Amino acid sequence: MTITRVGLILCAGLAASSVAGSATADAQRRRPAKATLAPSALRSANVEAAITAAQQLGKSKSHKAGGELLDALAMGLHPLVASAALDALRSHAKQNAFDVVSFYMNHRSAKVRSSALGVMAMLSDKRAKAQVLGALGDGHRSVRAAAAEVLAAKKEKRAIEPLMILLQKGDKASAPALAALATPDLARALGELIGSAPDGLLARCLGLILIRPDFKPEEARVEVVKTLGKIPGNDSLEQLTNYLGAIPEKPPRDSRIEAERIIEARLGGA
């Protein structure tokens, strides 16, 4: 093979390679790029688009997502977008988020405050606990309910006193939270509220304590049953009946026997 022919073959190969490379580059240019979101996307005039952007950042596995959410929140967002951004931030716990989230804890929108509370509850900052406790005094029941649920889950004993006050005021969120926190001593303290707390709400709280499998000893359950027997009306009767349906008949429990006695006496005297 002559040198000239070899050269022609090499040139043809290089040309083909160049064409293939160019085609590949064109294909890559035509391929849609991975979507990236900046804080400006959350500040779009299109509220629905901004909410979608916040939700996408919440699902993102990028370590930058939390920072982008915080930056946007720091710049200020539409209330609906702020709520979505705060919900998304829960997937990217940022310990430096306290100042920004604290601002939204005082937002005029209860929905935003509730979303901020969800983030605040995740922060290890000591100031965060005080903020969550303070939310029990919020003016909107949805925020108080969210705070009560968080504090009950964390077994926060400092929540007991404000929750007792809320119970006496008739706040429905206080009953399940206090039931979750209840010890035998707290159950006795609740019994002292007969007449000062709404009968139905107090009965519900005591009924929820009774069906807790970890509420012990049996003597404490008997005491709660007797307390329920002192609350007038059908609400206490309903809670005692619920208790009987929630526990097995055998082995016999003193608390079950006492509940049956009270129900029979109440119905017999009706």
**Residue ranges per domain, the chain?**
39-154, 158-270
- Per-residue pLDDT, averaged over 120-125, amounts to 91
Q: In whole angstroms, give the CA distance from residue 174 to residue 197.
A: 11
221-233 pLDDT, tens per residue? 999 999 999 999 9
Q: In whole angstroms, give the CA distance from residue 39 to residue 81.
A: 12
User: What does pTM read for this prediction?
Assistant: 0.79
For residues 117 and 146, the answer to whether their CB atoms sit within 8 Å is yes
CA 270 vs. chain centroid, Å, equals 43
Supply the pLDDT for residue 269. Answer: 58
For residues 138 and 114, the answer to whether their CB atoms sit within 8 Å is no
Supply the pLDDT for residue 13. Answer: 46
What is the number of other CB atoms lying within 10 angstroms of the CB of residue 19? Answer: 10
Give the ranges where the chain is alpha helix by DSSP (H).
3-30, 39-42, 47-59, 65-75, 79-89, 98-104, 110-120, 126-134, 141-153, 160-169, 174-181, 184-191, 199-210, 218-230, 234-246, 254-268
Give the CATH superfamily of 39-154.
Leucine-rich Repeat Variant (1.25.10.10)
Supply the pLDDT for residue 63. Answer: 86
Dihedral angle over CA of 185, 186, 192, 197, nearest 10: -170
Query: Strand, helix or coil at 226?
Result: helix
Residue written as token pair 């009306």: 233
- Per-residue pLDDT, averaged over 113-131, amounts to 93
9-57 pLDDT, tens per residue? 334 443 444 434 444 444 444 443 344 555 678 888 899 999 999 999 9
Side-chain-side CA neighbours of 90 within 13 Å: the count stands at: 16
CA 242 vs. chain centroid, Å, equals 27
Using alpha carbons only, how large is the chain's radius of gyration in Å?
A: 31
Cis before 176 (ω within 30): no
φ/ψ bin of 38: left (φ > 0), alpha (ψ from -120 to 50), beta (otherwise)? beta
194, β-bridge pairs: 197
Burial of 10: CB neighbours in 10 Å, binned 0-12, 13-18, 19+ = exposed
For residues 201 and 174, the answer to whether their CB atoms sit within 8 Å is yes
pLDDT above 50: residue 246: yes
Residue type, 130: A
Supply the pLDDT for residue 41. Answer: 84
